[in-house]
Amino acid sequence: MRVVKVNEDAIENILSDLLKRSPNHYDEYQQSVDEIVENVKKNGDQAVFDYTERFDGAKIDKDNILVTEEEIQEAYEQVDDALIEVIRKAIRNIRDYHAKQRQNSWFESREDGVMLGQKIMPMESCGVYVPGGKAVYPSSVLMNIIPAHVAGVKNIIMTTPPGKDGKVTPNTLVAAKEAGADKIYKVGGAQAIAALAFGTESIPKVDKIVGPGNIFVALAKKAVYGNVSIDSIAGPSEILVLADETANPRYVAADLLSQAEHDEMASAILVTTSETLAEQVTKEIDGFLKQLSRKEIMEKSLEAFGYILIAKDMKEAVDVANAVASEHLEIMTANPFDVMTRIKNAGAIFIGAYSCEPLGDYFAGPNHVLPTNGTAKFFSPLSVDDFIKKSSIVYYSREALEPVHKDIEFFANQEELTAHANSMKVRFEEKEG
């Protein structure tokens, strides 16, 4: 990892490096993705089947694209009972946390004959994309399905790529069943996103698509946005640890590597006021790399996007953290709650030595689908809010409208929208006549 003293130029260069990881910087893939999306939109199932055979090596057709109850039961037989129990514990925590996010419709009546309000309704359907291939993440299944379920979405449709044998990974199926998926289809990649966005003979069109994926999935979500809603166009994972001289260097090193192991594009940053801690963390990282299984991935990640930043004081360190706006932010300082109050931009904040990032990934309850690439400055974690829609309610009686109608007519005429003004005027023309 590069050790850099904090200054304006250094931060600007680091932010520039990090932003290169954004899907918005992979235009060379966009044409290929657009072709896939258009083909699925035009040819439906047949395009989906062709791409699944081409990219996943699996022969899928209308008779086997939908995962059956028998396949789900077979998956339960293959998954360790201990894992199923942990999944159920995690589900309880995730559901309890998201239940507190539910909103209720509200209405306000006034004595002058006005009633205003807001009607809260769940979306009718959503699509949850779950990656396959190199890594299997049942935790992501839970984090995407449960908030939709809590929100009251009636049809939760999941898609995930099959293996060459035409089957879905057992851990993924069990997690989906436990979380509350209604249907699971064997399709991945950009073709799955297009199928969910436009519908095919087998796969229903949905109102919103959520879930992580590779660059092709991210760009496909970008391409279909507007036809459906999406959660975000997520980039590679990232962590920033904010630490002072009181931090345990072994904990810090372990947590930095917990994100670096995701892929070569992941980012791990330590911002500290202690040069001694920086040296100790570097040694600990070297030691862990000799022990851990994804050594090559972590080394590439740290070489490209790993930094240790030395700040002159905690204020400067906090300023750096707010500038980076990391997906995951850990605070390991003498007064972590005080530091937390000064953090403005972060996807998720982990406070203290024992609140490590994997706690949030798997178990604590808050969602682990978080804004990346600095978008925590204006985006939030996935939540129940992502699966609801709001309608404004307006009611005025004649008695309530009469004293204000001329004000509204005047306003409309000032904008030269005479039909707007007339819509108001006709309601009182008898009186004026």
Backbone dihedral angles phi then psi of residue 338, each to the nearest 5 degrees: -65, -45
pLDDT band at 215 (very low <50, low <70, confident <90, very high): confident
Largest CA distance in the chain: 91
Q: Which of 119, 101, 208 is closest to 155 using CA atoms?
A: 208
Q: Which two tokens stand for residue 1?
A: 């990892």
Measured distance CA(346)–CA(195) in Å, rounded: 33
CA distance 44 to 24: 27
Mean pLDDT along residues 230-239: 88
| pTM metric for this prediction | 0.91
Q: Is 110 exposed, middle or buried (0-12, 13-18, 19+ CB in 10 A)?
A: exposed
pLDDT in tens, 162-181: 999 999 999 999 999 999 99
432 pLDDT above the threshold of 70 = no
Angle between helices 295-305 and 8-19 (to 10 degrees): 130
pLDDT interval class at 26 (50, 70, 90): low
Show the DSSP H helices in 314-375 as ranges. 314-324, 336-341, 357-362
Average pLDDT rounded to a whole number, residues 311-316: 95
Q: How confident is the model at residue 6 (pLDDT cuts 50, 70, 90)?
A: confident
Please state the residue numbers annotated as binding site for substrate.
237, 259, 262, 328, 361, 415, 420
Look at residue 235 in the predicted model and tell me its pLDDT.
Answer: 79
Range name among 2-6, 134-138, 312-316, 377-381 with the lowest pLDDT average: 134-138
pLDDT in tens, 297-307: 999 999 989 99
d(CA 316, CA 320): 6
pLDDT for the residue 190:
97
**Residue appearing with tokens 């449960």:** 146
For residue range 177-197, list pLDDT tens digits in order: 999 999 999 999 999 999 999
Binding residues for Zn(2+): 259, 262, 361, 420
- Given this model, what pLDDT does residue 143 score? 97
Residues 6+ apart with CB under 8 A from 12: none
Quote the tokens at residue 73.
């039961």
Residues flagged as binding site for NAD(+): 129, 191, 214
User: In the structure, what pLDDT confidence band is assigned to residue 326 with cuts at 50, 70 and 90?
Assistant: very high
Q: Are 83 and 171 in contact, with CB atoms under 8 Å apart? A: yes
Indicate if the pLDDT at residue 339 is higher than 70: yes
More confident residue, 50 or 232: 50
For the chain, give the number of residues: 433
Neighbours of 42 (CB within 10 A): 11
Is the pLDDT assigned to residue 136 strictly greater than 80? no
Mean pLDDT score of the chain, rounded to an integer? 93
Report pLDDT digits (tens) over 252-272: 999 999 999 988 888 999 999
Q: What is the CB neighbour count within 10 angstroms for residue 156? A: 26
Q: Whose CA is closest to 125, among 65, 204, 195? A: 204
350 forms beta bridges with: 330
For 48-98, what is each residue's pLDDT tens digit? 999 999 999 999 999 999 999 999 999 999 999 999 999 999 999 999 999
Residues labelled catalytic: 327-328
Residue 133 pLDDT grade (very low, low, confident, very high; cuts 50, 70, 90): low
Tokens 């001694």, residue located: 276
**Partners of residue 186 on adjacent β-strands:** 160
Which tokens is 19 given? 């932003």
